[in-house]
Amino acid sequence: MNRFFSAIIFIGCLISTALGQGGEGNFSMTGPPMQAPLAKGLVEISGLAAASKNSVYAHNDEHGIVYELAVADGKVLSAFALGDPTVKADFEGVATLDDRIYLLTSTGLIYEAPKGANRERVKYNVFDTGVGMFCEAEGLAKASAEGEFLVLCKKAYVSALEGRLIVFRWSVSERRVVTKPWVNILYTDLLPNKLAQQFQPSAIEWDAARQLMIILSARSKHLIAVNKSGRTAYAKALTAKHHAQSEGVTLLTSGELVIADEGARRGPGKLSVYQTPR
């Protein structure tokens, strides 16, 4: 799997509601979603990660506070902070590994900390993934290999990476600075031209059961699932009614897909839950 997506070039790949037909990579979402409003502290909710079969970890994009939220109603079950005083940064993603939590900043830094009890302040470590040399980082998820994370790029700083879906892999154990993308695919090979120009990633999740990368775009209000062949296996337009600005996505062990949307002048932040039949 280490060569997954490497050196992939495709021509004329068209999008549809579900392109993957049969076998590995099947994915679908049933809606409309079940939705829950969030507390004021999560108006600018950003990343999501599964916490349990019925709860998720979340954060806003300014403070290193990790919330555990009930999926059913958005209620805050617990919250803990990194540092004293609480660390401030442009946080863009969250993931978990064993008993530790990982927060990603837009500059490619990863903050590692133990999962804290409610209202606890925890010490943290900071690691530079090196992604910030290549792009603005925008999402974090577990990778297919144990102990590795996927780091999603939003805006490329290198001309050779512009107009492409760029994802890096970063090893928690090795903690080495990345030197090249793991995924490097033209958006025009994944999407029709007009949508490819609008698509700007805002969140990522790895679907281990189906071997798919799930990518959100808040800007174009779309979700796509990309299979191990580097093709769009599924695509769905997200309605403005349900998704003002989608900034986080995760899968629960039950198979439910959870999306987080910012609120601000549009109202409170929200969690949306979709069923993904298998």
For residue 217, being part of any structural domain is answered with yes
Total domain count, the chain: 1
pLDDT per 10-residue tile (average), the chain, 278 residues: 39 32 68 93 96 97 97 97 98 97 98 98 98 98 94 97 98 95 97 95 96 97 94 95 96 95 88 92
Contact indicator for 272, 71 with CB cutoff of 8 Å? no
Domain membership of residue 87 (yes or no) is: yes
The pLDDT of residue 277 is 86
Task: Provide the pLDDT for residue 155.
Answer: 96
Distance in angstroms (rounded) separating the CA atoms of residues 59 and 90? 11
Position 159 in a domain: yes
Phi/psi of residue 19, nearest 5 degrees: -90, -30
**Is 20 within a domain?**
no
By residue range, what is the domain housing residue 183?
30-275
Does the residue 242 lie in any domain?
yes
pTM (predicted TM-score):
0.90
- What span, in angstroms and rounded, lies between the C-alpha atoms of 13 and 275? 27
For residues 252 and 103, what is the distance between their CA atoms, to the nearest angstrom? Answer: 19
Identify the pLDDT of residue 206: 97
Q: What CATH number has the domain bearing residue 176?
A: 2.120.10.30
Position 138 in a domain: yes
Inter-residue contact 206 to 142 (CB < 8 Å): yes
User: Pairing relation of β-strands 125-128 and 164-171?
Assistant: unpaired
Would you say residue 240 lies in a domain?
A: yes
Question: Looking at residue 25, what is its pLDDT?
Answer: 63
Task: Supply the pLDDT for residue 144.
Answer: 87
Instruction: Tell me the C-alpha distance between 172 and 160, whole Å.
Output: 27
Residue 12 domain-assigned? no
